Amino acid sequence: MTVHESSEEIVRHAPGAPVAGLPGRERTPAQDLLRGVWRENPVLVQLLGLCPALAVTNTVENSLAMGLATFFVLVGSSFLVSSFKRLIPSEIRIAAFILIIATFVTIADLLLAAIVPDIHKALGAFIALIVVNCMILGRQEAFASKRPVGRAVLDAVGTGAGFMVAMLMMGSIRELLGNGSLLGVSLFGPSYEPWIIMILPPGGFLTLGFILLAFGWWRGRRAEAVPAVRRWPHGVASRRAA
């Protein structure tokens, strides 16, 4: 190893140095796609979009419908925002983003009403409230308005998929414990005593709390297995086993 390579290795492992896949270093397209699914899940990590996650996840059907509607709005709005980012004046960009998002929300609302009217009725006003979902507006402002169309769509697909994963996790747990069924199919038989609280509003908070607790425990276990970095004089870093 040359002196130049040794210096690069020290800088790469020094405390505070940028790491691939983390802020401060350009991500690859694959990282754009996978980032929002798990590592930076909008609900489980960033705690965004909690209103629908708590309100409409009492059944798997409602969770899936809301997840698909949000996915459609996020991908469609990211595509348009990235396509027309050079034509939108910076002074009115937020208003323009909201107008684009509202257009796709209207389309999603009409599609749900035409295809699954019962689920549309159960979701109620929460479909229209997708317009003010900070997760969607945040991705337009932070990513789609600054990246090419392909990268913006990949980011939207990953974030939308992560949102659906979180919604389905909550919907499955709440319907299973609250009704003893999944997608309306009874699993525990007539002798099962449903946990009624799980399909009521408090059940959403309880389910999300337990999922976040399990998610935090799992991430903590993974962090313990990663070698720690010890600071040495003059900026020299050395790794030691955790």
Q: What is the CA radius of gyration of the chain?
A: 22
Give, for all 242 residues of the chain, the pLDDT tens digit. Answer: 444 444 444 334 333 334 444 444 577 888 888 888 988 899 998 999 899 999 999 999 999 999 999 999 999 999 999 999 999 998 999 999 999 999 999 999 999 999 999 999 999 899 999 998 999 999 999 999 999 999 999 999 999 999 999 999 999 999 999 988 888 888 888 888 889 999 998 999 999 999 999 988 888 877 776 665 555 544 445 444 44
Residue 189 φ then ψ, to 5°: 80, 175
Q: What is the pLDDT of residue 103?
A: 96
CA 240, 241, 242 angle in degrees (round to 5)?
A: 115
Contact 62, 119 (CB under 8 A): yes
Contact 108, 69 (CB under 8 A): yes
Rounded Cα distance between 104 and 67, Å, is: 14
Instruction: Give one word for 133, left, alpha or beta, with left for phi > 0 and alpha for psi -120 to 50.
Output: beta
Helix (H) or strand (E) holding 181: strand 181-182
Q: Is the dihedral of CA 22, 27, 28, 31 positive or negative?
A: positive
Contact 204, 170 (CB under 8 A): yes
Which residues have a Cβ under 8 Å from the Cβ of 126 and sit 6 or more positions away? 51, 52, 55, 56, 66
- Which residues, in sequence order, are bridge partners of residue 181? 186
Rounded Cα distance between 214 and 211, Å, is: 5
Rounded Cα distance between 139 and 112, Å, is: 24
- Which residues, in sequence order, are bridge partners of residue 238? 230
Task: Specify the DSSP class assigned to residue 234.
Answer: G
Token output for 86: 């050079």
Helix (H) or strand (E) holding 238: strand 237-240
Task: Specify the DSSP class assigned to residue 16.
Answer: T
Give pTM, 2 decimals: 0.78
Rounded Cα distance between 167 and 37, Å, is: 12
Nearest to 216 by CA among 54, 44, 38: 44
Q: What is the pLDDT of residue 198?
A: 92
Q: What is the pLDDT of residue 20?
A: 41
